[in-house]
Amino acid sequence: MKQTFLLSVALLVSTFLLAQEPTDSVIVPDADTVLRIRNLNPYFTLHVDSSLSYKLDINKEEKNYYWYLKNSPLGLRINKDNGLLTFKAEKAYFLSGKLKYDTEYKVMLGVQNLYNPSDKTDTSFTILFFNTEVVTSKARPSVSGVVTIDEGDTLRFVIGCENGNFPVEFINFESSFPLKTETSITKCRDEFVWGIPYDFVKDNDSSKIKTVRLLFIATDKFKNRDTAVVRVNVRDALNYPQKKMEYEKTAADYNRYIEQLKFTFRTLDKKIKKVRGSRIAFDMTSSSTALAGTILSTSDNESQKNVGRVLPAVGVTLVPVKEAVAPNKVNEQNMVSQVRSSIRRLEFVLSENSLLGEKDMEIVQKTAKLRAELKQIQLQLIDVPLEGIDILDPQEANQYFNDPKVNKKYSRRK
């Protein structure tokens, strides 16, 4: 009986204790509803000869989503259906300058639901390319290594760059002869412009050619250097604008001297003409007096006979008066003839040595010929009184010089 009681008590206690123990419960996690990329690597580093194949995963069913890239470097692609990121680096990309070594490219990456545009995520990653092979960047002028050019011309070309591992950061310019260039050269694609002066080639330069070496030194950030050399052969050339100015000045001196001589000719010729008229008047008077004396000497009137005897003596006395009042201008006449012939010669020489075409290459010889002829005529006419001649109307003097009567008079004299 006692054992039965104890067993009952034990069962009650056991039941009570079991009733006090908490029951186990299963916590159901919330559903993963926010779209995210589970395995994104924020930084990629690639060797120039390596390739990239990286599969991106999301926390949702991939068939309902598509992938895209923004601002991606050349050659980087992504499969829009499965998110496979691929890249095959080629040296041609870097040699052409489309890609650069040791430059971080930030790429925008996104994935979006095909049926719900708001269900998307955008992020980014960085990719950098490197190369263990040392390739020096080079300066590449747009002209050949040897250039031949004339004085007065302008040398113009662009300094290009062929990038290696590291791009050119600075270009320094040097030359074997001090030059005054129109532009400064400091970076790739700068244009070199040099206007070559006419006096660049000196008389003591051999073959009338001066050689100048142009050096373009390209440097990257690690001070690796490459030097491009352009050899410029500058040939001696005619400074045509200056020579043309000298010719025009000489021609102007010619025309001015010809005008002065024409005024001198007109003035002297009129003086000679006036003297000739006076001498003719004296001669006519003397002849008339002698003739009148002869006629009167045959008259029956004694008084008229006496006058007739005196009149020839009067005519004779007019001769010294004529020489005193209007002496014969032999020297002046010769001088006028010389002036006229000099004018004709100057006009002929000026016409023969006129410039032909836009650029007459004989301009130096023609200018020298004009100067020599002008100097020779001036020496020949050094005794001609040019001072005091009034140059009022050149056209009037020219008309007088070319007057048919004047031409006829001097043509007969020849």
Tens of pLDDT, residues 361-392: 888 898 899 899 889 888 888 877 765 555 56
pLDDT at 325: 43
**How far is it, in rounded angstroms, from Cα 43 to Cα 125?**
6
Structure-block tokens of residue 132: 């263990």
375 in the same domain as 259: yes
In a domain, 29, yes or no: no
Total domain count, the chain: 3
Identify whether residues 233 and 378 lie together within a single domain. Answer: no
In a domain, 38, yes or no: no
Q: Is residue 69 part of a domain?
A: yes
Instruction: Let me know: does 183 contact 153? Beta carbons within 8 Å.
Output: no
d(CA 84, CA 205): 70
Q: Residue 13 falls within a domain, yes or no?
A: no
- The tokens 């412009």 sit on which residue? 193
* Domain co-membership, 259 together with 369: yes
Task: Assess whether 275 and 195 both reside in one domain.
Answer: no
Write out pLDDT tens, residues 109-144: 999 999 988 899 999 999 998 877 777 889 999 999
Among 130, 147, 175, where does a domain finish? 130
Same domain, 407 and 269: yes
User: Which CATH number is 157's domain given?
Assistant: 2.60.40.10
- The percentage of the chain sitting over the pLDDT mark of 70, rounded to a whole number, equals 72
User: Both 183 and 252 in a single domain?
Assistant: no
Whether the pLDDT of residue 146 is over 90: the answer is: yes
Q: Do 83 and 67 meet the contact criterion of CB atoms below 8 Å apart? A: yes
pLDDT digits (tens, 9 = 90+) for 224-279: 899 999 999 999 888 888 888 988 998 898 888 888 888 877 777 777 665 555 54
Do 322 and 283 form a contact (C-beta atoms < 8 A)?
yes
* Domain termination residue (choose one: 130, 147, 174): 130
- Identify any residues that bridge with 150 across adjacent strands, giving them in sequence order: 235
Does 276 share its domain with 393?
Answer: yes
Mean pLDDT of all residues in 332-337? 72
- The whole-angstrom separation of Cα 279 and Cα 284 is 9
Looking at the domain assignment, is residue 189 inside a domain? yes
Residue 11 lies in a domain: no
Domain of residue 317, CATH code: 1.20.1270
* CB-based contact 151:197 (threshold 8 Å): yes
Same domain flag for 384 and 259 = yes
Sheet bearing 120-130, strands edge to edge = 43-47, 120-130, 105-113, 65-70
Please indicate, yes or no, whether residues 85 and 219 belong to a single structural domain of this protein.
Answer: no
Same domain, 250 and 399: yes
- Confidence band of 335 (pLDDT split at 50, 70, 90): confident
Residue 265: inside a domain, yes or no?
Answer: yes
pTM: 0.50
- pLDDT at 145 (0 to 100): 92
pLDDT tens readout for residues 18-43: 555 555 555 555 555 788 898 988 99
Q: What is the pLDDT of residue 358?
A: 81
Q: Is residue 36 part of a domain?
A: no
Q: Which domain holds residue 155?
A: 138-237
Residue 320: predicted pLDDT: 56
Stretch 105-111: mean pLDDT: 94
Domain end residue (candidates: 90, 107, 130): 130
pLDDT tens profile 265-312:
777 777 766 555 554 554 555 555 555 555 555 555 556 555 555 555
For residues 249 and 233, membership in a common domain is answered with no
pLDDT band at 95 (very low <50, low <70, confident <90, very high): confident
Which pLDDT tens digit goes with each residue over 67-93? Answer: 999 998 988 999 999 999 999 877 778
Please check whether residues 394 and 257 belong to one and the same domain: yes
